[in-house]
């Protein structure tokens, strides 16, 4: 799981208020008292008063922008993008003209301030985008849709090297231990390209297709829209920073879309290390076909970088773990850890015990061993 | 036509020439190019992490994110090392030291995001190392030649 403590949002909000006051108030002060201020710091008076006033006005506007972000951060995310760009450009020009000797050192205060705030705004932006994913990654199991429970679950997954099927086996174990009947549907591509082990050329083709998101097609899953499963669990792995093509094909095939509509769906991601974007892609795909995401888990393979990354390359290149033999003792496993597998059993159990929605949209927390507030590198 | 020719002739490429000159890493302007390249590295890493959860179906976003995982930074730094050694021979090894420092900044920029968002990947030292395998061999060859 991936959740750790972070700077509270209110700290970012008050940092926005600080620059709002500094930009709006400071520039008003500069316009009114530029003569005594510049005289005090030993800076020359502006040669072009129009440009000076224009820059003050621009900076004042960014102060207003920062104040709006302070007031309602979740509703003003695009303003933060403008703030990042505006502050970064201002800082860049300040440094540039200072380097040409055309700017008094006094103005570097503003240059550094804006450089710092372009980073702060960027971090705040990263914090604020896709807040629903943060809720899911906290480990919560959300309330399920209000519909009759059949205690039947369907697992949909693709597994080329066996890591995905290993993870889903544990989810199945958890669900079955709580009385669920579980069926599985393996995504089988209609192309022979997606197999393992593979040659270098096949690897390059898969890589390029993953980077450029070239879709594939899969054999029909054969699940009707009015199926009896009350829960679907979808698993995907990371292929070059994105979700794997065969799993994405499930959602691209119109015949499969109805099976998710109005159903509780959970998402599981397994990977070497880059889990965030594939997870977001999987969740958005599920939501786009009307699925109600009730829980997510993402696990990295165990081991420390950079050896974990190179272990993956050796694994993909040789088609087997522990090769080359002389590196056997340093290469890391190509599957999730036993701790992660235990957590997936608990995840399956928690999914089986999920509550039904009393009031749509309100999360209900199921106590779940292992889903804590600290990052667990699986 | 005269207007267009005049318009183009009167254009200024000064800032871009300055930029190219700065990227040759002149010793006299160390502070300036160090800030410039640090800003570039930080911007790339923050953009990469900001793109993690948005525009999930966009091919362009996917390609950009793949490039920002390591190739954009690694190839840029490699190019800068070659250009710097061409313009200022004899400083290749010093520049390699600075390149290492940029990798440290890259890592820190990724890790600082962990402070901002409770569910994020942070830096990826695995692919950064792959990037280093592009930057440093190129830099070393440039320094030797």
Which residues on chain B place their C-beta less than 8 Å from a C-beta of chain A?
Answer: 15, 18, 29, 32, 35-36, 39, 42-43, 46, 49-54, 56-57, 59, 62-63, 65-66, 69, 112-121, 124-130
A145 plus A38 within the same structural domain: no
Domain ranges across chain B: 29-144
Contact call for residues A3 and A374 (beta carbons, < 8 A): yes
Q: How many helices (H) and strands (E) does chain B have?
A: 7, 0
Question: CA-CA distance, A282 to B56, in Å (whole number)?
Answer: 9
Q: What is the pLDDT of residues B75-105, one digit of tens each?
A: 999 999 999 999 999 999 999 999 999 999 9
Nearest-neighbour CA in chain A from B1: distance (Å): 32
Name, in order, each residue with C-beta under 8 angstroms of A109's C-beta and a sequence gap of 6 or more.
Answer: none
A112 plus A162 within the same structural domain: no
Q: Is there a domain that residue A245 lies in?
A: yes
**Token reading at B74:** 């690694």
Question: Alpha-carbon Rg of chain B, whole angstroms?
Answer: 18
Nearest-neighbour CA in chain A from B28: distance (Å): 11
> First CA to last CA across chain B, in angstroms?
48
Range of the domain at A63: 9-129
Q: What is the pLDDT of residues A300-312, one digit of tens each?
A: 999 999 999 999 9
The pLDDT averaged over each successive group of 10 residues in chain B (145 residues) is 86 86 95 96 98 97 98 98 96 96 98 96 96 98 94
Total domains in the fold of chain A: 2
Q: Of A70, A99, A129, which closes a domain?
A: A129
Residue A268, SS3 per DSSP? strand
Q: Which residues of chain B lie closer than 8 angstroms to A212, CB-CB?
A: 59, 62-63
User: In this complex, do B118 and A115 lie within 8 Å of one another by their Cβ atoms?
Assistant: no
Nearest-neighbour CA in chain B from A137: distance (Å): 6
Q: Which residues of chain B lie closer than 8 angstroms to A308, CB-CB?
A: 126
A167 plus A272 within the same structural domain: yes
Question: CA-CA distance, A80 to A27, in Å (whole number)?
Answer: 20
Query: CA angle B8-B14-B16, nearest 5°?
Result: 100
Q: Is there a domain that residue A52 lies in?
A: yes
Question: Alpha-carbon Rg of chain A, whole angstroms?
Answer: 26
- Candidates B61, B117, B132, B133, partner chain A, best to mutate (most A CBs within 10 A): B117
Nearest-neighbour CA in chain A from B109: distance (Å): 10
Q: Is there a domain that residue A2 lies in?
A: no
A163 plus A271 within the same structural domain: yes
Q: Would you call the peptide bond into B138 cis, given omega within 30 degrees of 0 as the criterion? A: no
Q: Of A129, A152, A170, which closes a domain?
A: A129
Q: Which residues of chain B lie closer than 8 angstroms to A213, CB-CB?
A: 57, 59, 62
Q: Which residues of chain B lie closer than 8 angstroms to A284, CB-CB?
A: 56-57
Query: In this structure, are strands A231-239 and A242-243 parallel, antiparallel, or unpaired?
Result: antiparallel
Q: Is there a domain that residue A323 lies in?
A: no
Q: What is the pLDDT of residues A42-96, one digit of tens each?
A: 999 999 999 999 999 999 999 999 999 999 999 999 999 999 999 999 999 999 9
Query: ipTM greater than 0.90, yes or no?
Result: yes
Helix (H) or strand (E) holding A272: none
Q: Is there a domain that residue A105 lies in?
A: yes
Give the pLDDT confidence score for residue A156 in this predicted structure: 98
Judge residue A328's burial from the number of C-beta atoms within 10 Å of its C-beta, 0-12 exposed, 13-18 middle, 19 or more buried: exposed
A287 plus A204 within the same structural domain: yes
Question: CA-CA distance, B80 to B68, in Å (whole number)?
Answer: 17
The residue among B120, B116, B131 whose CA lies nearest residue B66 is: B131
The distance of Cα A130 from the centroid of its chain, to the nearest Å, equals: 8
Helix (H) or strand (E) holding A334: none
Give the pLDDT confidence score for residue A367 in this predicted structure: 44
Q: Which residues of chain B lie closer than 8 angstroms to A129, CB-CB?
A: 50, 53-54
Give the pLDDT confidence score for residue A358 in this predicted structure: 59
């Amino acid at each position: 799981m991936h959740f750790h403590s972070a700077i509270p949002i209110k700290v970012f909000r008050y940092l926005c208020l600080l620059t709002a006051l500094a930009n709006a108030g400071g520039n008003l002060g500069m316009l009114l008292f530029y003569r005594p201020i510049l005289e005090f710091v030993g800076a020359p008076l502006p040669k072009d008063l129009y440009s000076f006033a224009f820059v003050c006005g621009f900076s004042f506007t960014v102060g207003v922008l920062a104040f709006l972000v302070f007031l309602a951060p979740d509703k003003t995310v695009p303003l933060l993008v403008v703030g990042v760009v505006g502050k970064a450009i201002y800082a860049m020009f300040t440094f540039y003209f200072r380097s040409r000797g055309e700017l008094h050192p006094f103005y570097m205060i503003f240059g550094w301030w804006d450089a710092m705030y372009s980073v702060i705004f960027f971090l705040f932006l990263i914090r604020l985008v896709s807040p629903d994913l943060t809720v899911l990654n906290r480990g919560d199991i959300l309330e399920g849709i209000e519909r009759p429970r059949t205690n039947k679950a369907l697992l949909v997954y693709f597994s080329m090297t066996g890591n995905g099927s290993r993870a889903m086996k544990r989810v199945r174990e958890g669900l079955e231990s709580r009385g669920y009947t579980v069926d599985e549907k393996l995504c089988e591509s209609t192309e022979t390209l997606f197999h393992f082990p593979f040659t270098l050329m096949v690897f390059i083709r898969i890589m390029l297709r993953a980077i450029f998101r070239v879709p594939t097609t899969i054999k029909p899953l054969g699940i009707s829209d009015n199926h009896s499963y009350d829960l679907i669990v979808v698993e995907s792995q990371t292929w070059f920073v994105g979700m794997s093509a065969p799993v994405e094909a499930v959602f691209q095939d119109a015949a499969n879309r109805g099976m998710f509509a109005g159903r509780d769906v959970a998402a599981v991601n397994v990977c070497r290390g880059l889990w965030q974007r594939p997870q977001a892609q999987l969740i958005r795909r599920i939501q786009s076909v009307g699925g109600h995401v009730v829980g997510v888990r993402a696990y990295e393979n165990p081991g420390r970088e950079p050896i974990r990354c190179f272990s993956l390359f050796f694994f993909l290149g040789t088609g087997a773990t522990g090769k080359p033999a002389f590196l056997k003792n340093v290469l890391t496993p190509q599957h999730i850890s036993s701790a992660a597998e235990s957590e997936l059993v608990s995840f399956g159990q928690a999914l089986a015990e999920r509550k039904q929605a009393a009031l749509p949209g309100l999360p209900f927390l199921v106590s779940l061993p292992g889903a804590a507030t600290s990052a667990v590198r699986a | 036509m005269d207007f267009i020719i005049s318009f183009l002739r009167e254009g200024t490429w000064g800032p871009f020439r300055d930029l190219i000159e700065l990227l040759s890493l002149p010793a006299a302007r160390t502070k300036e190019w160090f800030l410039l390249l640090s800003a570039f590295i930080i911007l790339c890493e923050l953009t990469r992490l900001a793109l993690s959860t948005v525009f999930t179906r966009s091919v362009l976003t996917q390609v950009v994110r793949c490039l920002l995982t390591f190739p954009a930074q690694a190839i840029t730094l490699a190019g800068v090392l070659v250009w710097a050694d061409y313009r200022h021979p004899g400083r290749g090894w010093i520049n390699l030291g600075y390149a290492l420092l940029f990798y440290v900044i890259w890592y820190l920029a990724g890790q600082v995001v962990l402070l901002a968002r409770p569910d994020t990947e942070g830096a990826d030292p695995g692919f950064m190392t792959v990037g280093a395998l592009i930057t440093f061999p190129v830099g070393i060859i440039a320094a030797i030649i």
